């Protein structure tokens, strides 16, 4: 538990995408009381599949905080069975997006509650209450925003088609977030930003382009982050030129960016006060600080639960130093 560093009265807002975000969120959950930690989740990965609304980043986070997640995969539930998927395949259904039997219940329940008129925030809070997740977990918006991936041959893929069906193979040329112009931050997101005890806004080590940007580019969020009383600290998802999970480094190369922590810092420049990089990237610290971004060098590779807790506490302490 973080004691002296992060006062009991202070709160942290974490911005989380997929697997990398959920890892740090778990470290934060072990370092702070549930009242001190609010987590806003990217919903750009959400998609309609087999008549269901699927919210991968929300489910990855909730399963992780509820200790239900498949730790090897990072997504989906542990102790899964695959009878539904096998039966679906027999009927000629699409099995490229693996849906476990336990996970299927989440998608069916969410889809039905949404059809009954529940907001995504209400469904998320309901699932958290049932699964014993006490932190406030909110979708970035209750309006549908859908990440679209533009690829070299001029086609546009939905995120899950790019990420799962096509295994991130296509060469990307850019992204856009369908529906974002009309989307508002969710009520819970607004409240968390407005929280007077807010002492740290932490951008978790998720993919900057497809997991973090949809959140930061929601109308009004830039201004709200600037106006918030807390420093914005981002944790690099790139370590020593590679992304620990997912296609971030490949995307950077295809976008003509060097796959370095400096390039990630430049991507976030103007929106962050602090940046957390791994010891293997220590030589980049002066160049990043020349951008006007305070930089913390620490161990940022999370293998064990203790790694997650250590990184969370280092980020919280760093935010307090910047705040002063
Ligand atoms: N990722 C995969 O690479 N393959 C899958 O079959 C897959 C299924 C899946 C089912 C439910 C869910 O919540 C997530 C799932 N993911 C799968 C992960 C998901 O595509 C990514 O975690 C996020 O969209 C990116 O962060």
pLDDT digits (tens, 9 = 90+) for 75-110: 999 999 999 999 999 999 999 999 999 999 999 999
147-167: average pLDDT: 97
Nearest residue CA, atom 25 of ligand 1? 18
166-193: average pLDDT: 97
Nearest residue CA, atom 18 of ligand 1? 75
113-134: average pLDDT: 98
- Write down the pLDDT at residue 191: 95
Residue 121 has pLDDT above 80, yes or no: yes
The percent of residues above 70 in pLDDT, for the chain, comes to: 99
Distance 282 CA to ligand 1 centre (A): 32
- Which of 50, 160, 142 is CA-nearest to residue 104? 50
Nearest residue CA, atom 3 of ligand 1? 164
* Best residue for ligand 1 mutational test, from 164, 167, 212, 251 (most atoms within 8 Å of Cβ): 164
Q: Give phi and psi for 303, each to the nearest 5.
A: -100, -50
- Write down the pLDDT at residue 5: 73
Residue 190 pLDDT class (50, 70, 90 cuts) = very high
Atom of ligand 1 nearest to the CA of 45: 24
Residues with CB under 6 A from ligand 1: 17-19, 45, 56-57, 59-60, 75-76, 97-99, 103, 160, 163-164, 211
Buried b (16+ CB within 10 A) or exposed e, 123-149: bbbebbeeeebebbbbbbbbbbbbbbb
When the candidates are 3.40.50.10680, 3.30.56.10, 3.40.50.10860, 3.30.1360.120, the CATH number that belongs to 11-323 is 3.40.50.10680
DSSP letter string, 187-249: HHHHHHHH-TTEEEEEE-SS-IIIIIHHHHTSTTHHHHHHHSSS-EEEE-SEETTEESSSSHH
Nearest residue CA, atom 19 of ligand 1? 56
Distance 56 CA to ligand 1 centre (A): 6
- Write down the pLDDT at residue 4: 59
Nearest residue CA, atom 1 of ligand 1? 164
For the chain, the structural domain boundaries read 11-323
What's the whole-number average pLDDT of the chain? 96
Residue 1 has pLDDT above 60, yes or no: no
Residue 280 pLDDT class (50, 70, 90 cuts) = very high
Residue 2 has pLDDT above 70, yes or no: no
Distance 212 CA to ligand 1 centre (A): 17
Atom of ligand 1 nearest to the CA of 159: 24
- Write down the pLDDT at residue 240: 93
Residue 33 has pLDDT above 90, yes or no: yes
* Best residue for ligand 1 mutational test, from 73, 97, 237 (most atoms within 8 Å of Cβ): 97
């Amino acid at each position: 538990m973080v004691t002296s560093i992060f006062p009991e009265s202070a709160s942290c807002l974490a911005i989380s995408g997929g697997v990398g975000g959920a890892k740090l969120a778990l470290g934060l959950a072990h370092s702070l009381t549930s009242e001190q930690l609010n987590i806003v989740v990217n919903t750009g990965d959400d998609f309609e599949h087999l008549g269901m609304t699927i919210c991968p980043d929300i489910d990855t986070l909730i399963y992780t905080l509820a200790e239900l997640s498949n730790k090897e995969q990072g997504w989906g539930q542990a102790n899964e069975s695959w009878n539904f998927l096998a039966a679906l395949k027999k009927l000629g259904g699409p099995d490229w997006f693996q849906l476990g039997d336990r996970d299927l219940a989440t998608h069916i329940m969410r889809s039905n509650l949404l059809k009954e008129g529940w907001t995504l925030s209400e469904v998320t809070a309901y699932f958290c209450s049932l699964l014993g997740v006490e932190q406030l977990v909110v979708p970035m918006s209750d309006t549908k925003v859908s990440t679209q991936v533009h690829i070299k041959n001029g086609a546009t893929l939905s995120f899950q088609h790019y990420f799962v069906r096509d295994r991130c193979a296509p060469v990307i040329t850019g992204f856009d977030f369908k529906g974002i112009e009309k989307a508002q931050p969710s009520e819970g997101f607004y409240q968390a930003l407005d929280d007077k005890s807010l002492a740290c806004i932490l951008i978790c080590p998720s993919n900057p382009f497809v997991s973090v940007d949809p959140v930061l580019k929601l109308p009004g969020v830039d201004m709200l982050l600037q106006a918030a009383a807390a420093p914005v600290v981002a944790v690099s998802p790139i370590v020593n030129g590679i992304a620990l999970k997912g296609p971030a480094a490949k995307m950077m190369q295809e976008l003509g960016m060097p796959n370095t922590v400096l390039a990630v810092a430049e991507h976030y420049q103007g929106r962050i006060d602090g940046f957390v990089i791994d010891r293997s990237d220590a030589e980049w610290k002066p160049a990043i600080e020349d951008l006007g971004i305070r930089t913390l060098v620490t161990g940022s590779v999370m293998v064990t639960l203790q790694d997650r807790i250590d990184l969370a506490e280092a980020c919280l302490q760093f935010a307090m130093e910047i705040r002063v």
